[in-house]
Structure 1
Amino acid sequence: MTDRRTELAENLAKVEARIAAACVAAGRRRDEVTLIVVTKTYPAEDVRLLSGLGVRHVAENRDQDAAPKAAACADLPLSWHFVGQLQTNKVRSVVGYADVVQSVDRARLVTALSKEAVRTEREVGCLVQVALDAERSPGEKPRESGGLGERGGVPVEGVEELCGLVAGAPGLRFDGLMTVAPLTGPYAGRELAAFERLMDLSTDLRRAHPAATMVSAGMSADLEHAVAAGATHVRVGTAVLGVRPRLG
């Protein structure tokens, strides 16, 4: 366990140095960027070690793994973020532990989250996930899939309406926007441009929703681009915890 703690501490220090350097390069203060450690596939013991090393935000993407892990770590001073595509039949469980759901992408999910938040008398922070891989190039025809992103999220043209639904839903707090660097579409391989597009959307939205200042973007491979674009939160897993084991 001591060896694992040392490994995590060393990895955290490296990630911290990367974030700090990216902030300097972007002319930003270090405290403008919050690190969220993505602990998916890793055990509660690692979460406990990370908490002891000063981590305060952790993220999960599968409720069946997250719920027992959050329960086992309920005594720790952690904020839990849910970042995976969320089915409505998992909402009751997720609202039981998640402080922020970063993957809101449809009206039906907003309704389900709101209902459960009200029932449990909780306030759940929500980010609308933007599918930049669903954005069409000028003149491009709509896609047969309806424009939904391959990695989840709502297409750009649906963002404003969905944000309004979240902001008006009882029990929910509209915190801002999230995206995953797209693998296809006009932003494929252009992480900085993708994150800058997300920031432009955030700036526009804050005219109507000034408190929605959270911009979650960037992971282990591209966190520097996210910081350069102005992200307030970066989601880092592999660079802290190591290469993930294969899921069976």
Structure 2
Amino acid sequence: MRKADIIENLNRVRERIVTCCRSCGRAPEEVTLLAVSKTRPAEDLRAVWEAGQRDFGENYLQEALDKQADLADLPILWHFIGPLQSNKTRAVAEHFHWIHSVERLKIAQRLSAQRPAEMPPLNICLQVNVDGEESKSGAAPAEVGALAAAVAQLPNLRLRGLMAIPAPRENAAAQREPFAQMQSLLLQLQRQLPDQPLDTLSMGMSGDMEAAIECGATMVRIGTDIFGARG
């Protein structure tokens, strides 16, 4: 896809966020756009960065590390949003600002232990399997409270909130159901852990972004509607 088309897409997504926020009584500044750049070449990320985008989400570790090397001159905020195995935690702890996909205490413990001392705490979102899908990663909603309490005790992490990837639904009303459940879960955590900076709901993608924003999303993860369909 041409650079001009990518920038046009980016601006269109930004306009959708503004329109949706205004329609549901939220400030557009409350919603961060995370450009999901997996499988995209570094030059596409650079083009989007030059248009003002600062937060980028990557699913695949080695691909992300290669892009970080290619784009080392840019102060990008890197988010790891894919499944994370134990043998990958050190590289994530050393090279990312955020991770959205923590689902087990063991992974969080490793990230905390492996976060370099000279770096600020790693921002953490707990991934919730809100639909109970066997094919999806994430903690069960009933497990989130205990997991959050344990993660909050780890010294080199900042527990910021929750992430979910609900199953596709056929209309906006159905899309709002899991997002509303996520909003309720975050409110419960805020009451349970009032000393934690629990300010993040990472949810909503190209096909259900508006429903997520209506239910309190503070970060939407958009790939296809910025960079086009993957080949």
TM-score (norm 1): 0.87
**Structure 1 regions of 5+ residues with no counterpart?**
135-147
Match of 1:167 among 128, 152, 158: 152
Quickly say closer, same or farther: Cα 1:122–1:168, change in 2 above 3 A. same
In structure 2, the residue matched to 1:222 is 208
Name the CA distance, whole Å, in 1 between partners of 2:184 and 2:29.
21
**Shift, 1:170, TM fit:** 1.4
| Identity among equivalent pairs (%) | 37
Match of 1:17 among 15, 18, 28: 15
Match of 1:199 among 169, 180, 183: 183
In structure 2, the residue matched to 1:65 is 63
Where 1:101 maps in the other structure, the secondary structure is strand
Name the CA distance, whole Å, in 2 between partners of 1:121 and 1:34.
23
Give the residue type in structure 2 aligned to 1:159: V
Q: List 4+ stretches of structure 1 deviating above 4 A.
A: 118-122
In structure 2, the residue matched to 1:141 is none
In structure 2, the residue matched to 1:140 is none
Where 2:155 maps in the other structure, the secondary structure is coil
Coordinate RMSD, CA, aligned: 1.7
Match of 1:239 among 195, 220, 225: 225
Give the residue type in structure 1 aligned to 2:29: D
**Shift, 1:227, TM fit:** 0.6
Give the residue type in structure 2 aligned to 1:85: P
Quickly say closer, same or farther: Cα 1:122–1:149, change in 2 above 3 A. farther
Name the CA distance, whole Å, in 1 between partners of 2:155 and 2:70.
29
Quickly say closer, same or farther: Cα 1:120–1:85, change in 2 above 3 A. farther
**Shift, 1:181, TM fit:** 1.5
Name the CA distance, whole Å, in 2 between partners of 1:95 and 1:106.
15
Equivalent residues of 1:51, 1:77 under 8 A apart: no
In structure 1, the residue matched to 2:108 is 110
TM-score (norm 2): 0.93
**Shift, 1:119, TM fit:** 5.6
Quickly say closer, same or farther: Cα 1:149–1:178, change in 2 above 3 A. farther
Name the CA distance, whole Å, in 2 between partners of 1:151 and 1:71.
30
Aligned residues: 226
